[in-house]
Amino acid sequence: MGMLKEFKDFAMKGNVVDLAVGVIIGGAFGSIVSSLVEDIITPVLLKPALKAAGAANIETWAPGGVLLGKFIAAVISFIVIAFVLFLIIKGMNSAKKKEEAAPAPPPATPEDVLLLREIRDALKK
């Protein structure tokens, strides 16, 4: 059971969670950049060059050669991934706060101290 607790403490450390979030967000953001370059910038730059060269099927692309829908889908996917990660991290943080917030009960008073208090109270009377 001790090893399981150690693993939980390790996995819940801020550094490990921050690194995992960074990798996931980086991957999601990578799809936005790829979509921007492949679906918007490249067609805008290549369309005039391909038309000048007389390339066939240039009009079968999206209007203007820009695939804006794919880019918007990549942005929405990124936002959804980021929001889900936010909810996961928020839940982990609240669980961590509950663990930290529960104070340990005060230690039991030793018997010799209790006896001394009884003697003190008896002497006061």
Q: What is the pLDDT of residues 80-119, one digit of tens each?
A: 888 878 887 788 788 777 766 667 777 888 888 888 999 9
Domains held by the chain: number: 1
Instruction: Judge if pTM exceeds 0.85.
Output: no
Range of the structural domain that residue 38 is part of: 2-124
Predicted pLDDT of residue 14 = 67
Distances (CA, A) of 122 to 114, 116, 117: 12, 10, 9
- Name the residue among 22, 113, 35 with its Cα closest to residue 77: 35
Q: What is the pLDDT of residues 21-71, one digit of tens each?
A: 888 888 888 888 888 777 777 777 666 665 665 554 544 555 666 667 777
Tokens 């990124």, located at residue: 78
pLDDT: is 17 or 26 the higher one? 26
Residue 107, both tokens: 């230690």
